[in-house]
A and B are shown apart, each in its own frame.
Chain A
Amino acid sequence: MTHALVLGRRALREGIRTPEAIVPTLFIPLFFLVVNVGQAARIFPGSTTGFLHGQGYGAFQLPSSMLLAASFGSAALFLVEEIEGGYFDKIRATPVSRSAIVLGRLFAEGVKALVIAGLIVALGLAFGITIASGVLGFLLLILLTAGWAIVYAGFMQVIALKTRSAAATNSAGLVFFPLLFLTPNFVPRNLLTRPMEIAATVNPVTYVMEALRSLILQDLRWETIGLGYLVVAVAAAIMLALSVRIIRAYD
């Protein structure tokens, strides 16, 4: 674990020293939040739309932006850079456990996502959004977002280790994006058309989004929250196992 933390701190330094890789992570989700709310807020006024629980449409859209921000991690591209530059081999030539090499970057992505999610929520609060589930809900909200960031970074890391190519890793990120949109992104699941409802129901990201949304709009609803955390835990375990397997067989 010490090795994972040491490597995680290095990855954090790397992130801090590359602000140009972090700025879009914050800017693009906020851009989508403003555009989506601007386009649909009048269709769904807070006073008469039941699924908003008395808040504005921005509160409903906030989880989409948080998930989008968590799906922008640059860890895998830094990893490809390291593989191409030879530093990855330098680390592999040390007695550090293979899982620590994988965990270090994921730890850093989790910390970065905590900060970014906190900033997005803080901006939301400044614009009148409230976290109905209180302080505990706020903590659960940013923790779940960070968990999703780890899943996404893990997926990208798997692709980076397998392909060792920046182009392939970037493309794989795009494959992941439809999952973010095959969700109850604009309205709750029961208001979607039947095909979209089916797609959203089989899409695990839906349950993460619904957990985030329930934390913003409602009291602590443990069943919904638990489902979101379960999806993140299972997906993270799969990504971690795959990464470790690939790095152990890495030639």
Chain B
Amino acid sequence: MEVAVEAAGLVKTYRGRSGTVEAVRGVDLRVDAGEIFGFLGPNGAGKSTTVRMLTTLLSITAGTAVVAGLDVAREPDGVRRRIGVALQEAGLDARQTGRELLVLQGRLFDLSASEAAGRAQELLELVELTEAADRRIKSYSGGMKRRLDLASALVHEPQVLFLDEPTTGLDPASRVTVWDEVRRINERGATVFLTTQYLEEADQLCDRLAIIDGGRIVREGTPASLKAGLRERLGLAREATLDDVFLDATGRARTHVAGEVQEVKA
């Protein structure tokens, strides 16, 4: 099986005023071509830092990463040509129109002006934004921005698509629309590397997943194998859920995660 993403001993440390912070402490990962791979973890676990290293946006302190067949540290431009990136908080230029943004993205990937215009139209149709194409992005809803962000990551038909929490903050209907888009993109041949905090999302979409906590991978496998493994290990009478797997892997109790409900009196 061809490998789309492979990381070995990936480490990221930051030096701040309060000392050195180890955000990622030796991550080993392997994502096969054609997979939808889920990368889960609590806030601050190192998900986004790992994605930013794999997408060339952050330098690697130690370890190696190969994405789409190229070493991330040695050939960052080559990697950039083969990957698509949609980061947290849909990073878009609100003063441009959707069409202008996609055309610009195409031009930055060396498409000619007419090729970029044609590709922008195709993508606008794909994510159903043709009617809003010539409106400024600042007038778009959260769901529309996410879809446009996805489209902009697809301009150059990447081999590997990195999606960092693509549905955070979206309403349930918009979330399902994004899931459909992700499946469609995957069916067209792209490997999808997806970080999410929503376990249902990972269960619905991912062929395999890894859970990171404290900068280290603590579980890895298919959703079914992880759930079956937990049920067997704990001797549960019922089917385990991905929530159970996540809570077990990250050492968090359900009550702790849910928080306490307190009555507030006026």
Please give me the residue from chain B that is nearest to A96 by CB atom.
B108
Please list the 9 inter-chain residue pairs (A to B) with the smallest Cβ-Cβ separation, ordered nearest first: A86-B91, A93-B85, A94-B108, A95-B80, A90-B91, A87-B91, A6-B107, A95-B77, A96-B108
A-B contact pairs, 9 of them (CB 8 A): A14-B95, A86-B87, A86-B88, A86-B90, A86-B91, A89-B87, A93-B57, A93-B83, A94-B80
Q: What 1/0 mask marks residues of chain B from 58 to 72 whose CB sits below 8 Å from any chain A CB?
A: 110000000000000
Q: What 1/0 mask marks residues of chain A from 76 to 102 whose CB sits below 8 Å from any chain B CB?
A: 000000100111111111111000000
Cβ-neighbour of A85 out of B56, B91, B107, B110 (below 8 A): B91
With the chains together, A91 CA to B57 CA distance in Å?
Answer: 10
Interface extent on A, as a size class?
20 to 34
Cβ-neighbour of B85 out of A2, A88, A90 (below 8 A): A90
Q: A6-B108, A251-B58 are in contact. Are A87 and B92 (CB under 8 A)?
A: yes
Q: Is B96 an interface residue (CB 8 A)?
A: yes
Q: Is B105 an interface residue (CB 8 A)?
A: yes
Q: Is A17 an interface residue (CB 8 A)?
A: yes
Contacts of A14 in B (CB 8 A): 93, 95-96
With the chains together, A86 CA to B153 CA distance in Å?
Answer: 14
Q: What 1/0 mask marks residues of chain B from 84 to 111 whose CB sits below 8 Å from any chain A CB?
A: 0101111111111000100011011110
Q: A93-B85, A95-B81 are in contact. Are A18 and B95 (CB under 8 A)?
A: yes
Contacts of B56 in A (CB 8 A): 92-93
Q: Is A10 an interface residue (CB 8 A)?
A: yes
Most buried by B among A3, A10, A82, A90: A90
Please give me the residue from chain A that is nearest to B116 by CB atom.
A6
With the chains together, A13 CA to B101 CA distance in Å?
Answer: 12
Q: A90-B85, A93-B85, A94-B105 are in contact. Are A13 and B100 (CB under 8 A)?
A: yes
Contacts of A18 in B (CB 8 A): 95
- Within A1-38, the residues touching B (CB, 8 Å) are 2-3, 6-7, 10, 13-14, 17-18
Q: A13-B100, A92-B57, A94-B80 are in contact. Are A3 and B93 (CB under 8 A)?
A: no
**Contact B91–A94 (Cβ < 8 Å):** no
Contacts of B89 in A (CB 8 A): 85-86
Query: Chain B's nearest CB lies how many Å from the CB of A125?
Result: 34
Contacts of A7 in B (CB 8 A): 104, 108
Contacts of A92 in B (CB 8 A): 56-57
Q: A86-B91, A89-B87, A90-B91 are in contact. Are A3 and B59 (CB under 8 A)?
A: no
With the chains together, A164 CA to B85 CA distance in Å?
Answer: 21
- Within B131-190, the residues touching A (CB, 8 Å) are 136, 152
Please give me the residue from chain B that is nearest to A10 by CB atom.
B104
Binding site for B on A (CB under 8 A): 2-3, 6-7, 10, 13-14, 17-18, 82, 85-96, 251
With the chains together, A90 CA to B164 CA distance in Å?
Answer: 12
Contacts of B57 in A (CB 8 A): 89, 92-93, 251
**Contact B87–A95 (Cβ < 8 Å):** no
Q: Is B55 an interface residue (CB 8 A)?
A: yes
With the chains together, A2 CA to B77 CA distance in Å?
Answer: 17
Cβ-neighbour of B152 out of A3, A6, A88, A90 (below 8 A): A90
Most buried by A among B59, B88, B91: B91
With the chains together, A94 CA to B136 CA distance in Å?
Answer: 22
Contacts of B96 in A (CB 8 A): 10, 13-14
Contacts of B94 in A (CB 8 A): 85
Contacts of B90 in A (CB 8 A): 86
Contacts of A96 in B (CB 8 A): 108
With the chains together, A90 CA to B149 CA distance in Å?
Answer: 9
In the complex, besides A6-B104, A95-B110, 8 extra interface pairs with C-beta distance below 8 angstroms are A6-B107, A13-B95, A18-B95, A85-B94, A89-B87, A90-B152, A91-B108, A96-B108
Contacts of B81 in A (CB 8 A): 95
Please give me the residue from chain A that is nearest to B83 by CB atom.
A93
With the chains together, A149 CA to B262 CA distance in Å?
Answer: 58
Q: A10-B93, A17-B95 are in contact. Are A93 and B80 (CB under 8 A)?
A: yes
